[in-house]
Amino acid sequence: MDSKIIVALDYETEAEALSLVDQIDPSLCRLKVGKEMFTSLGIHFVKQLHERKFDVFLDLKYHDIPNTVARAVRSAADLGVWMVDLHASGGLAMMEEAKKILEPYGKDAPLLIAVTVLTSMEDLDLLQIGINASPLEQVIRLSHLAQRAGLDGVVCSPQEVEILRKNLGQDFKLVTPGIRPIGSEFGDQRRVMTPAAAVRSGSDYLVIGRPITQAENPAEVLRSINASLQNS
Ligand SMILES: O=c1ccn([C@@H]2O[C@H](COP(=O)(O)O)[C@@H](O)[C@H]2O)c(=O)[nH]1
């Protein structure tokens, strides 16, 4: 099975994360390492996941001058991650330089995707940082920019997937956090959807953290979400 689920391993300790990882199989999901675990554990942790044959999405959301971001992306490629991301709001030149530095890696290059508008943000949040556009308008604008830079896809809310798919084609990867199974708490997420609805809308990958990681039996919840996607 090639699961669409990417589990966001947002844990305080390596032991907690590995206790889940060691109960599951790479056919059930890919794994996302974000700022919390990478800051405390670094590449050693990513290597442990690779040793267990999991594909790793390194979610550090780079945002800096083009040279700095491109070099960070190259380090991610050298680490052998499956996917890596940057913020589209860093601009076209930054995204182009990051894409260019991956050319020597050919088919071994990681997927390079751009974060558009964080799924925790709504209209007011954008207004407060000087963006007078709805999240949807801004996501569309930044997704077109990412595609123009040659990136492989974007991170967006599942609520934006249908329209992006029509505009950007079948091959452009749409990676969606903001996934909340019925009955689970939204927490800080705002632009959300259930796993099955996200898949029906056309999401390529569903990033799911707390609904799995904070569950009493995370491995069981992962299995049941996978099962719910079989008929979507
Ligand atoms: O727009 C974005 C971009 C990234 N994320 C990350 O996804 C997970 C979601 O975790 P949940 O616990 O399911 O909310 C988390 O690691 C975020 O850093 C996002 O949520 N939204």
At 194-222, the pLDDT tens digits run: 999 999 999 999 999 999 999 999 999 99
Question: How far lies 222's CA from each of 30, 179, 180, 195, 197, in Å?
Answer: 11, 13, 13, 11, 16
Cα atoms in the Cβ-side hemisphere of radius 13 Å centred on 205: 27
User: For residue 1, what pLDDT is reported?
Assistant: 60
Angle at 42 between CA 38 and CA 45, to 5 degrees: 90
Tell which atom from ligand 1 comes closest to the C-alpha of 120: 21
Residues of the chain with pLDDT under 50: none
- Nearest Cα residue to atom 4 of ligand 1: 177
3-state helix, strand, coil in the chain (%, to 5): 50, 15, 35
Q: Is 61 one of the catalytic residues? A: yes
Quote the ligand 1 centre to 98 CA distance (angstroms). Answer: 22
Q: Is 59 one of the catalytic residues? A: yes
User: For residue 232, what pLDDT is reported?
Assistant: 78
Task: State the ipTM, two decimals.
Answer: 0.99
Nearest to 87 by CA among 116, 128, 58: 116
Quote the ligand 1 centre to 104 CA distance (angstroms). Answer: 30
**Inter-axis angle of helices 135-148 and 161-168, to 10 degrees?**
30
| Domains annotated on the chain, with CATH | 5-230 (3.20.20.70)
- Nearest Cα residue to atom 7 of ligand 1: 177
Is 68 among the annotated ligand-binding positions?
yes
- Strand partners for 153: 113, 173
- Nearest Cα residue to atom 18 of ligand 1: 34
User: For residue 2, what pLDDT is reported?
Assistant: 85
User: For residue 133, what pLDDT is reported?
Assistant: 98
User: For residue 155, what pLDDT is reported?
Assistant: 99
Cβ of 58 below 6 Å from ligand 1: no
User: What tokens appear for 227 in the block?
Assistant: 């099962």
